[in-house]
Structure 1
């Protein structure tokens, strides 16, 4: 008798979800299942959630072995795609990872910014359970959802996305929240046939390293930025919801975060402003603050040596650290369909540790320490 795998353990569903009789079947893309049930997809049926409050968070990456022995022994290959950002792991199924491997994966994502896997046999229920290992799952204030799985943000554009290019902006997700997401997992299951003669092409995603962008700035500018805070706002997003689908689940929020934050696993400083949600530098004259933000936004967009561009294949997965990267999808496939599912565990409230260092400083110190140990070993 074949033993069936255990059902994925999902978080407790919030009360008052719309369409309470709908259930997404296992192993079926909600892109198909929700529509077959006669419901809107992505679903914008209004329901109300309590406002988010700050909750304790401990990053799983802190438990991961920096040498990644469990991941490396199981993988066929570990391929670093650029010097600054992006690693592909070959030969692993995310659903089969042990707790030790998951912790090492969190550490690797913290260091490399984004880690990629291809050909993942993971349905949406397994994706939710996997992401929930890393923290409380975020439910978006206004984006479309799967009716019974509100933690999932469908990434969906088709022939109706006539204004899709307006979303092609460098950002980190929902940075206006008190505790914005940390690790974020996106699986693409439907890719556009936008190439010549209907070839599978289009819809790549680009990520940029906040660590590398920050350490590329001049020391004087870095020192100044570390004294600053910025206002991140979800008000425009909320107003868009009111104008269009009328779906706003929580009170809109604005939050002040440091312009430079420290990652709790690496201890590295990273730039933390983004064009989508950062509206002003607190305490600076508006024209000065706006000029500074514009400079930083252009630095993100034009720092090509700190970017990695990922060409999706069906059932590929990207796991990135929303605290230390920026990303943008390339909208070059209209009017073709592109669909994926994103799940995002919340992390800690952004903060700057005054004793933290840049990535390069940390690596240099580690190398110096290694040289010192070698010298001690060679001494008579």
Structure 2
């Protein structure tokens, strides 16, 4: 048997010193300290892995990154954040019955400029955070009429995030996105965040010719969003605009016979693919995906206008049509909406800008066209609206 020196003996466990040939039972009971520590460490690691994972963009900022102007708005992905299915509610349309003179909204010193004849406006000289309830109701009506309105020089980003949450809550229950990141501690504030350099741009563009992806937000919900807010935190000096298309005007451009045929049709909208894509990437899933059936033509509760209600991201199929029939009609409508440059508007972002649109009667698309590495950080407030309704087709006077 090998001889053990005194120095070596001091570094061995007591069990080895007392019994040079321990039994297997004793060996199992009296494992070396290093092994026990390793086992305990493994147990700690397992416990840590069992805890919900939280990923924070602020922890992933590189040493050379330009600091965010509002770091508390940098996105957080919390894998432990879970919610039950959304419950139905009675939506109160704030724009219905609001004063059409906008006297509580467009007060002294305001400036209103239309971006195009039918779609989009810019307003300055009005502070959204200071509006009365009557002013907020008139805001809903103005946005319903103009489809999208950009308010300049706003203080919303400088206020505590709960102020933004309170503003949005006036218009309806706030939607929590099932897969989107949020501002930490504020699940109602969905964060849109991107920095783009040349190599990242190539990845984003992929095998496409354009980054444009027209859509209305989360139309798969039973009660999709209505008056929707997006406010700037950090934006590129040039680029990163958002384009909007007026789907009321898209409907109006169709022939009477074609419009009449669309009435009574419903389409399936699905959020299942969005959730499955997030799972595949090991992203967050706060609520399982659902499908809903909505009319192809919906009526706005405040203006009475009819609008096409389909989009390429979430609309899947026309109910009752064969696949080829559904695909042909939907592709025509997607092309008609996307090519309608004469009823579209493009909003340029700037610090202090808040853009508000009516998600029921518009589609929009981010435009990823900058490669400077500048940060584009925006926060979205998404009040839910009514379940889409269709009113009967009325023949136009000849």
- Normalising TM by the smaller chain, what interval? 0.7 to 0.9
In the alignment, structure 1 residue 67 sits paired with structure 2 residue 101: yes
Alignment of structure 1 residues 234-253 onto 2, 5 Å: 234-253=271-290
Alignment match, 1:186: 230
**Matched positions, count:** 324
**Shift of residue 31 of structure 1?**
5.1
Alignment match, 1:378: none
- Are the aligned partners of 1:87 and 1:115 in contact in 2 as well (CA < 8 Å)? yes
- Are the aligned partners of 1:181 and 1:346 in contact in 2 as well (CA < 8 Å)? yes
**Shift of residue 170 of structure 1?**
0.2
After superposition, the Cα gap between the structure-2 partners of 1:103 and 1:75, relative to the gap in structure 1 and judged at 3 Å, is: farther
- Select the residue among 202, 215, 228 that pairs with 1:171: 215
- Are the aligned partners of 1:146 and 1:152 in contact in 2 as well (CA < 8 Å)? yes
**Shift of residue 253 of structure 1?**
0.2
**Shift of residue 168 of structure 1?**
3.1
Work out the CA distance in 2 between the residues paired with 1:324 and 1:300.
12
In the alignment, structure 1 residue 79 sits paired with structure 2 residue 123: no
- Are the aligned partners of 2:272 and 2:290 in contact in 1 as well (CA < 8 Å)? yes
- Are the aligned partners of 1:175 and 1:232 in contact in 2 as well (CA < 8 Å)? yes
- Select the residue among 22, 38, 50 that pairs with 2:84: 50
- Are the aligned partners of 1:228 and 1:259 in contact in 2 as well (CA < 8 Å)? yes
Work out the CA distance in 2 between the residues paired with 1:98 and 1:218.
42
After superposition, the Cα gap between the structure-2 partners of 1:94 and 1:34, relative to the gap in structure 1 and judged at 3 Å, is: closer
- Please list every run of at least 4 consecutive aligned residues from structure 1 whose deviation after the TM superposition is greater than 6 angstroms: 16-19
Instruction: For residues 142-197 of structure 1, give each alpha carbon's deviation from its aligned partner in whole angstroms, at most 9, with x where no partner exists.
Output: 111123100011010124855444763000000000110000000012112xxxxx
**Shift of residue 34 of structure 1?**
6.4
Alignment match, 2:341: 304
Alignment match, 1:270: 307
Alignment of structure 1 residues 360-375 onto 2, 5 Å: none
Does the residue aligned with 1:72 lie in a helix, a strand or coil? coil
Alignment match, 2:29: none
Work out the CA distance in 2 between the residues paired with 1:298 and 1:265.
28
After superposition, the Cα gap between the structure-2 partners of 1:356 and 1:206, relative to the gap in structure 1 and judged at 3 Å, is: farther
Instruction: For residues 264-307 of structure 1, give each alpha carbon's deviation from its aligned partner in whole angstroms, at most 9, with x where no partner exists.
Output: 00011000000100011111111111011011101111000000
Alignment match, 1:230: 267
Alignment of structure 1 residues 22-171 onto 2, 5 Å: 32-33=71-72, 41-122=75-156, 123=159, 124-159=161-196, 163-165=203-205, 168-171=212-215
**Shift of residue 246 of structure 1?**
3.3
- Are the aligned partners of 1:18 and 1:147 in contact in 2 as well (CA < 8 Å)? no
- Are the aligned partners of 1:272 and 1:324 in contact in 2 as well (CA < 8 Å)? yes
- Are the aligned partners of 1:120 and 1:315 in contact in 2 as well (CA < 8 Å)? yes
Stretches of structure 2 lacking an aligned partner (at least 5 in a row): 1-50, 55-66
- Are the aligned partners of 1:142 and 1:241 in contact in 2 as well (CA < 8 Å)? yes
Does the residue aligned with 1:222 lie in a helix, a strand or coil? helix
- Are the aligned partners of 1:53 and 1:178 in contact in 2 as well (CA < 8 Å)? no
**Shift of residue 55 of structure 1?**
0.8
Work out the CA distance in 2 between the residues paired with 1:242 and 1:306.
37
**Shift of residue 356 of structure 1?**
7.2
Q: TM-score w.r.t. structure 1 length?
A: 0.80
- Are the aligned partners of 2:77 and 2:284 in contact in 1 as well (CA < 8 Å)? no
Stretches of structure 1 lacking an aligned partner (at least 5 in a row): 1-15, 20-27, 36-40, 193-199, 365-380
- Select the residue among 342, 356, 359 that pairs with 2:380: 342
- Are the aligned partners of 2:250 and 2:337 in contact in 1 as well (CA < 8 Å)? yes
- Are the aligned partners of 1:44 and 1:245 in contact in 2 as well (CA < 8 Å)? no
Work out the CA distance in 2 between the residues paired with 1:128 and 1:31.
16
After superposition, the Cα gap between the structure-2 partners of 1:44 and 1:299, relative to the gap in structure 1 and judged at 3 Å, is: farther
Q: CA RMSD in A?
A: 2.3
If you compute each CA radius of gyration, which structure gives the higher value, 1 or 2? 2
After superposition, the Cα gap between the structure-2 partners of 1:17 and 1:341, relative to the gap in structure 1 and judged at 3 Å, is: farther
Alignment match, 1:261: 298
Instruction: For residues 117-155 of structure 1, give each alpha carbon's deviation from its aligned partner in whole angstroms, at most 9, with x where no partner exists.
Output: 111111332211111111100000111112310001101
Work out the CA distance in 1 between the residues paired with 2:221 and 2:360.
12
**Shift of residue 73 of structure 1?**
3.2
Alignment match, 1:367: none
**Shift of residue 204 of structure 1?**
0.6
**Shift of residue 18 of structure 1?**
8.2
